[in-house]
Amino acid sequence: MYKFNSGFRWTFLAQSDIEVVTLTLPQQDPDSNIQQLEQLPSIVAKLPNSCEIDANKSVTKTSSEQQLEYLLSNLMKYGVLIASAIVLLGGILYLIHHGTEPAAYQFFRGEPSEFRSPLGIVKAVLSGSARSIIQFGLLLLIATPILRVFISLLAFLLQREFIYVIVTLLVMTSLIYSLVGAYY
């Protein structure tokens, strides 16, 4: 909690094991020069969660936060790229085998039962079906954000950020319920 003192002093009230820094800003005339304010030294204060904030309002992250952010961004980037490449490959294979067939729009045919479960999709991919390769790519595309939420949950557990653990568990529960609810 921050406390505002009458002499333009901000102090950080926290536990005794945390470094407390007091910033005192000199009083200036209302018509003071902006260049004089820019010449003030940049002051860095330690915050309790190991982040730093300086007088220019830029926040730096700890190395573990940067590693987690890097891991999650790469997971999303490469997950979507791999899933898209698999769907494209399946689409090309499907068009090679069935591209010249006329479309029969008179009758609606739903997905075969083998494409209605993840295990069925994997079995069909191993048999070499082009439609199953497309379905597998879509399954990977759906699994990518779920894996991201799961990795975030593990990271928050390791960092002992229990509020974020609860929020992430709620998101994970919602995702799992939406997937499982489709089968029942």
The radius of gyration computed from the CA coordinates of the chain, to the nearest angstrom, equals 28
What tens digit of pLDDT does each residue of 71-118 get?
888 999 999 999 999 999 999 998 998 878 887 778 887 777 777 778
* pLDDT for position 54: 53
Phi, psi of 11 (to 5 degrees): -125, 150
Residue percentage of the chain with pLDDT more than 90: 26
Distances, alpha carbon 24 to alpha carbons 4, 8, 51, 141, 143, in Å: 11, 6, 21, 52, 51
Query: How far is residue 146's CA from residue 31's CA, in Å, rounded to a whole number?
Result: 55
Question: Which residues, listed in sequence order, are joined to residue 23 by a DSSP beta bridge?
Answer: 10
Model pTM? 0.60
Query: How far is residue 25's CA from residue 58's CA, in Å, rounded to a whole number?
Result: 18
What tens digit of pLDDT does each residue of 21-54 get?
666 666 655 555 666 656 655 555 555 555 555 5
Question: Which residues, listed in sequence order, are joined to residue 52 by a DSSP beta bridge?
Answer: 46, 60
The sheet with strand 52-54 has its strands ordered as 44-46, 52-54, 59-60
